[in-house]
Amino acid sequence: MKDEKVFAMKFSRVYPLYVQKAERKGRTQAEVDKVICWLTGYGESELALQIESDATLETFFANAPQINPNAHLIKGAICGIRVEKIADPLMQKIRWMDKLVDDLAKGKAMKAE
């Protein structure tokens, strides 16, 4: 999929997929929200507004209050690509979010640093 198509995806369409993935593995929506808020700096109410809006992934990250300063420590592969080696900053943020939700669903410990 071309980057532009990913950037144009609606966060409101992606978010339920994250929740479904986590719930299939016995995790909760609250845990998904927690890792997304950790990454983006959104509060719970701000995240809810983003979910209800028509924001694209590009807009979602552009409006994020503050990307966590420890986000660069997120390592590993998602979709066969190492997240730490992604050159495009927006794509890297999207893949960081994917990786956090994936690790949550796999039961990996989340360290909120």
Per-residue pLDDT, 82: 95
DSSP per residue over the chain, as a string? --HHHHHTSBHHHHHHHHHHHHHHTT--HHHHHHHHHHHH---HHHHHHHHHS--BHHHHHHT-S---TTGGG--SEETTEEGGG--SHHHHHHHHHHHHHHHHHTTPPP---
CA-to-CA distance for 93 and 36, rounded, in angstroms?
Answer: 11
Per-residue pLDDT, 1: 55
User: Which domains are present in the chain?
Assistant: 3-105 (1.10.8.290)
Per-residue pLDDT, 110: 65
Low-confidence residues of the chain: pLDDT under 70: 1, 109-113
pTM, entire model: 0.91
